[in-house]
Amino acid sequence: MVKAGDGYKDIPIGGLILDAGNAKDYNTGGWRTKRPVLDKERCINCHLCWAFCPDIAILSEDGVVSDQIDYDHCKGCGICANECPVNAIEMVKE
| Predicted pLDDT at 49 | 96
State the SS3 of 49-91.
Answer: HHHHCCCCCEEEECCEEEEEECCCCCCCCCHHHHHCCCCCEEE
Give pLDDT tens digits for 57-80: 999 998 899 888 999 999 999 999
Residues in contact with 25: Cβ distance below 8 Å, sequence separation at least 6, in sequence order: 1
Model pTM score: 0.74
Does residue 62 or residue 14 have the better pLDDT? 62
- Over the stretch 18-52, which tens digit does the pLDDT of each residue have? 777 777 777 888 889 999 999 999 999 999 999 99
Q: What is the pLDDT of residue 38?
A: 96
CATH of 23-93, one of 3.90.1150.10, 3.40.50.970, 3.30.70.20, 3.90.226.10: 3.30.70.20
